[in-house]
Amino acid sequence: MLAGDANLSKTGNILAFTNSVDSNEIVETNLVSFYDDVQLVDVREMLKTNGLECWANILDPGIAHLVNPLLRPPVCWVYLHNHSTNYIGCLRMPAPYLCRVVLFDEQGRQVKKTKLGETYGRALSQDEIDAWCHNWNNPHERRFIRILAGGIPKIADMRTDICFFDLKAAFEIKNPGNYELHLQMRLIQTGQDSSGKFHYPVTWLSEVVTKIKITPEDVQK
């Protein structure tokens, strides 16, 4: 998978994550998608052919401010490229629910996480996901994200925003320098059985890596 910053780079050979117990849950054959026009898909098969790619970008401070004035640079932007011809639906959840993250300094040492950072990527039960889904109360956004099919020529470059998060809220970054963020995203689909009960197939996508330059100004702020 590719990861993004000023110079796009491929994931290195050293990976920070292995799949966890809640990964790659099999989609039950009797499930139908919550959306009539969005199929439930085997995401693992898409990953085998690079049909679905997760990217991570560090935003320019000016752009980060426009995205959310409450986020302090550096801000990580997580998004998906869907190269298949199928629309996919997934839950719109906060970054700690969707991402596992590890930050390495120039010496290859892991940067200590904050209390919030420790919550990133923790295991989620089906009941926890269902409770979050049914308690959604944001009038400005839908609880579901439609991941457009990039295989359509006119929208071949379409990207689907997944989440944004503040690196300094997740890690105790105390020194300027060059860092490396490892990120793995959990894609949570939504299906229904014949009774209308929701089910949430979960797949961890391939790990991505992006370079981060922390300036003295970033540390001071």
Q: How many CB atoms are located within 10 Å of the residue 168 CB?
A: 18
Q: Is 74 exposed, middle or buried (0-12, 13-18, 19+ CB in 10 A)?
A: buried
Closest Cα to residue 42, out of 26, 56, 55, 53? 26
More confident residue, 132 or 38: 132
Q: What is the mean pLDDT of residues 47-69?
A: 86
**What does the alpha-carbon distance between residue 116 and residue 101 come to, in Å, rounded to a whole number?**
12
Q: For the stretch 4-15, what's the b/e string if a residue is b when 16 or more beta carbons lie within 10 angstroms of its beta carbon?
A: bbeeeeeeeeee
Q: What is the mean pLDDT of residues 109-113?
A: 96
| 169-208 confidence digits (pLDDT tens) | 999 999 999 999 999 999 999 888 888 888 899 999 989 9
More confident residue, 139 or 124: 124
Evaluate whether 27 touches 88 at the Cβ level (below 8 Å): no
Q: In the 8-state DSSP scheme, what is residue 181?
A: E
Highest mean predicted confidence (pLDDT) among 10-14, 64-68, 177-181, 190-194: 177-181
Two tokens, residue 119: 């919550």
* Number of domains within the chain: 1
Domain that holds residue 60: 2-220
Mean pLDDT of the chain: 83
Q: Is 182 exposed, middle or buried (0-12, 13-18, 19+ CB in 10 A)?
A: buried
Q: In the 8-state DSSP scheme, what is residue 101?
A: E
Q: Which of 43-57, 96-110, 139-153, 160-174 has the lowest mean pLDDT?
A: 139-153
Position 155 pLDDT exceeds 80: no
- Assign residue 173 the CATH number of its domain: 2.60.40.2970
Position 62 pLDDT exceeds 50: yes
Q: Which of 1-15, 127-141, 186-200 has the lowest mean pLDDT?
A: 1-15
Confidence (pLDDT) at 211: 93
Two tokens, residue 54: 């997760």
Highest mean predicted confidence (pLDDT) among 9-13, 62-66, 130-134: 130-134
Residue 192 to residues 122, 138, 197, Cα–Cα distance (Å): 24, 22, 5
More confident residue, 155 or 125: 125
Band (140; pLDDT cuts 50, 70, 90): confident
